[in-house]
Amino acid sequence: MFNGSLPRVAYVVKRYPRFSETFIVNEILAHEAAGLPLDIFSLRPSCDAHFQDRIARVRAHVHYLPFEKAKLDAFWTKCAELARRDPVFIEHLKDSLESNPHEVYQAMHLADAIRQRGITHLHAHFATSATSVARWAARFAGIRYSVTAHAKDIFHESIDQQELGQKLGEASHVITVSEFNVRYLEDRYTFAPGQLVRLYNGLDLEAFPYASPAERTPRIVAVGRLVEKKGFDVLVDACRILRERNVEFHCHIAGDGEQESLLRERIAAFGLADSVVLLGGRPQADIAHIVQQAAVMAAPCVVGEDGNRDGLPTVLLEAMALGTPCVSTDVTGIPEVIRDGETGLAVAQHDAAALADALQTLLTNAELRERLAQQARALIEADFDVVRNAAAQRHLFSHADLSVAITAGGAC
């Protein structure tokens, strides 16, 4: 596959575009700036009401695979079509018989596109359905695939560990977004040397210029989907404590999601309607402005009852780049960036009193805000530059044929 020139890579994702998946757009733009030929294949259409401004800069052609369940005759017609071109296809199809038939059907369509467009490597984001489709399409077309594993796709209680092991096992490389994730996967699966790679999600640092937080108004900001793992109910509880202490503050929470009604009820019950505001979903440009106007970013992440949790929230990295000091928890990869007293303040998850203490400290101590923000920006520049991180990823794409398969798939 690799002969000194860039491969032609196709990204496989569940939905495109997704408002919350800024890291994928950052990555694609960095690849395109370096001249990497790219296609994007989406298993389903987008269902978001808001989009990132940066999506308009993506030049890659976006293909939507058939997302409605295929009728039986359409499925077998597609099988016959691929079998006529490649008799070996039938053997691969036999291996896929226990897999989701709709994913196999999508994989057949993707395999067609691979041949038509000269694609030499597939890369899937999230080790769930996108990787399932990439896995079979790569088999059918005779190429390799890699995957970036994030959080819910490996931690959630619904994950079939044996199936996950098979998908990771056939990948040329498994990229994951934190050292925590590396340890988690190494504890459960056996990888060949160099197959499992920690590569942080990168930021376009020019899009997130640093500004001093020393003179900012006493505003707390939080950004993310209104779901359990974000811990925004704990943040509302912390705001109640701040109000009881007569601390001057306002808190803005940007995002939408299933817990909106619960949070509104909690805010009203605590009499915080004049201090805590739910802003709803906002475009990326608005989010950056909102974050950089705040004295502190709160990311009180928790591990959900179903095992779901954040890997390493992109919005936390963006706040650190912008110069907004952060308070967060000890969940998954977060301690790799929020080093207590050095690049931010860390508290235990679910601890509203400790969160209130940390928020109060940053709201009232401009010198500490400045010091933490400067050191946080330095860390982001060192480890999260998307230009540098995307270059490392392209090296993996180009050398996918040189990797060794996993030695023991499935859960250990």
Condensed to tens digits (0 to 9), the pLDDT of residues 75-127 reads 999 999 999 988 889 888 989 988 999 999 999 999 999 999 999 999 999 99
In terms of domains, do 226 and 155 share one? no
In terms of domains, do 229 and 92 share one? no
In terms of domains, do 294 and 164 share one? no
In terms of domains, do 98 and 245 share one? no
Structural domain that includes position 148: 9-202+386-402
In terms of domains, do 211 and 159 share one? no
**pLDDT digits over 359-374, tens only?**
999 999 999 999 999 9
In terms of domains, do 344 and 308 share one? yes
Mean pLDDT over all residues of the chain?
92
Cα(148)–Cα(154) distance, integer angstroms: 11
- pLDDT band, very low/low/confident/very high, at 14 (cuts 50, 70, 90): very high
pTM of the model: 0.89
Contact 275, 250 (CB under 8 A): yes
**pLDDT digits over 277-291, tens only?**
999 988 888 999 999
In the numeric block, the tokens 């299933």 are attached to: 258
Q: Which two tokens stand for residue 244?
A: 């009881």
Contact 385, 378 (CB under 8 A): no
Contact 256, 281 (CB under 8 A): yes
**DSSP string of 239-291, one letter each residue:** HHHHHHTT---EEEEEB--TTHHHHHHHHHHTT-TTTEEEEE---HHHHHHHH
Output phi, psi for 108, to 5 deg: -65, -40
Domain CATH code at residue 195: 3.40.50.2000
Q: How many domains does the chain have?
A: 2
Output phi, psi for 210, to 5 deg: -75, 140
In a domain, 282, yes or no: yes
Cα(185)–Cα(164) distance, integer angstroms: 10
Report pLDDT for 6: 77
Contact 404, 193 (CB under 8 A): yes
In terms of domains, do 166 and 29 share one? yes
**pLDDT digits over 321-341, tens only?**
999 999 999 999 999 999 999
Question: Which residue from 152, 136, 174 is spatially nearest to 393, judged by alpha carbons?
Answer: 174
In terms of domains, do 215 and 265 share one? yes
In terms of domains, do 145 and 177 share one? yes
Contact 18, 43 (CB under 8 A): no
In a domain, 411, yes or no: no
Question: Which residue from 83, 14, 362 is spatially nearest to 213, judged by alpha carbons?
Answer: 362
In a domain, 409, yes or no: no
In terms of domains, do 376 and 247 share one? yes
In terms of domains, do 301 and 289 share one? yes
Starting from the edge strand earliest in sequence, which strands make up the sheet with 61-64, in order? 61-64, 38-45, 9-16, 121-125, 144-149, 174-176, 196-198
In a domain, 3, yes or no: no
**pLDDT digits over 39-48, tens only?**
999 999 987 6
In a domain, 300, yes or no: yes
In terms of domains, do 108 and 123 share one? yes
In a domain, 45, yes or no: yes
Report pLDDT for 348: 98
In a domain, 210, yes or no: yes
In a domain, 408, yes or no: no
For the residues 311-327, what does the mean pLDDT come to? 96
